[in-house]
Amino acid sequence: MATRLLGAMLTACLALTACTGSDDPDPEPTSAPPPIVVVDLEFGVWGTDEEVAAYRDVVEVYDQETDEVNVEVTTYATHRALIDAIEQGDVPDVFLADRGDLATLLEEGITQPIGERLDERDVDFGDDYSRAALEAFSFDRDLQCMPYGISPLVVYYNTALVDFERMAERGLEVPNLNDEARLRWSLEELRVAAEFATRPRRGTSGLYVPPTLDGLSPFVLSGGGRIFNDDDQPTSLDFSSDDSRSALEQALPVLRDPRLTLTPDQLARRTAATWFERGKLGMIVGDRSLTAEFRRVPGLEFGVMPMPIIDDAATVGGLTGICIAADTPDLAESADLLVDIISTESVQRVVPAGYLVPANQTVALTDDFLQPTRQPARADVFNDSVRDLYVPPLLDDEAALEEAVEPGIELLLNVEIPDIEALTTQIDEASQAVLSPPDDPTDEPVEPESSDD
């Protein structure tokens, strides 16, 4: 037995020697894998502490799942601070931008189109994003930045002051809040609610609409008017047109009624949002950012309604997008980061903070955004209002336009019996100084003086 085992071992050794004899070349040495090159990327954002924390969480997960990149989140105190840094040449590889920035970003060549980058990564966004959002960030038939947030103006109401159930019991005209279809209400129902919430002896007011272009625009649009004289290349606002004046004549008696709204003295002492938080204001027009603010107020119970309808549903709002810098050193990695930021999983990590109405409609329809156990109860109002959103034309300087027309709009909303014809003409003329300024005479060519022979 031992002899047979020893023979088998010798045979195996001889076979191994034959296979690795001196006639065979030495095996190639195993080469080491190439080192991983880590790309450093910068993601520029602004927002509250809660918003920034959500962005950092998204980036942290991405960093953990990706060996090839290291992403740094650079935060700015305000949107304006981020844009100022960009205009000074400090452009993050990927950054959050307001839709109002797009004209400047394109003119200065700061960003680059992303449509091709998304196609390369098989990103199918046709069903997940509204047409309005995609068109808002498109130029020259290409997507310039990816829509991220879309926050329409709605009406917040204090449920203790605007109690629709009690109003219905008293036979007052109220909207049907129990209808599972889209909530709708009229300008008349808004007026009734404002009167119900106004209690002079308790020091409560019914309604506040900010005296701004955005604050007044939904009422102009709903009444059949127009905001600009042209939606491609505007040269003026269109408040003085017959249709716009007709809309204002219907809306202003409610919006400027001194019995129903906050007085200038009250607004000088506290903001409208603070009066709402203190239970002294029944309704306030605002965007999604107020949701997170109001949730922090102990004991405050509130809901949201769409903007009221005069003829047709209409609203305006803010849009944000995610852009890629034109001079990012690694376009492929920057595009990969953008795709991850806009992904359903990443957006779901951001919406619980309460500030974002996601442009990604898949997320907007989930409980991550709707949050049925938190206020407001009908968060679907934000989603429905997106369908009625008016997207203005690209402007070189939205802030300058707002500043130019604000005095006239304040008079429309604060004077009890305003001269609508004179004020709307004043507003349009003020807008023309921004939208179609007169030519600078110093830029005109100088005709050579003729000389006498």
Residues 6+ apart with CB under 8 A from 290: 156, 273, 284
DSSP conformation class of 355:
-
Nearest CA to 283 out of 382, 196, 379 is that of 196
Instruction: Name the pTM for this structure.
Output: 0.88
Q: Would you say domain 39-150+318-386 falls under CATH 3.40.190.10?
A: yes
90 C-beta neighbours (distance < 10 Å), count:
12
pLDDT mean across residues, the chain: 90
Q: Are 319 and 392 in contact (CB under 8 A)?
A: no
Cis preceding linkage at 352, omega within 30: no
Give how far the C-alpha of residue 351 lies from the chain's centroid of Cα atoms, to the nearest Å.
12
The phi, psi pair for 160, rounded to 5°, reads -80, -30
Which residues of the chain form CATH 3.40.190.10? 39-150+318-386, 152-316+393-435
Residue 204 structure tokens: 């409560």
List the helix and strand counts (H, then E) for the chain: 20, 11
The dihedral region occupied by 107, where left means phi > 0, alpha psi between -120 and 50, and beta the remainder, is alpha
Q: Are 222 and 314 in contact (CB under 8 A)?
A: yes
Q: By percentage, how much of the chain surpasses pLDDT 70?
A: 89
Report the distance separating Cα 144 and Cα 162, nearest Å: 43
The band of 30, judged by pLDDT with boundaries at 50, 70 and 90, is low
pLDDT tens-place string over residues 202-234: 999 999 999 999 999 999 999 999 999 999 999
pLDDT tens-place string over residues 352-407: 999 999 999 999 999 999 999 999 989 999 999 999 999 999 999 999 999 999 99
pLDDT over threshold 70, residue 183: yes
pLDDT over threshold 80, residue 54: yes
Report the distance separating Cα 348 and Cα 342, nearest Å: 10
Element (H, E) at 63: helix 49-65
Identity of residue 363: V
Element (H, E) at 119: helix 115-120
Give the per-residue pLDDT at 391.
94
Q: Would you say domain 152-316+393-435 falls under CATH 3.40.190.10?
A: yes
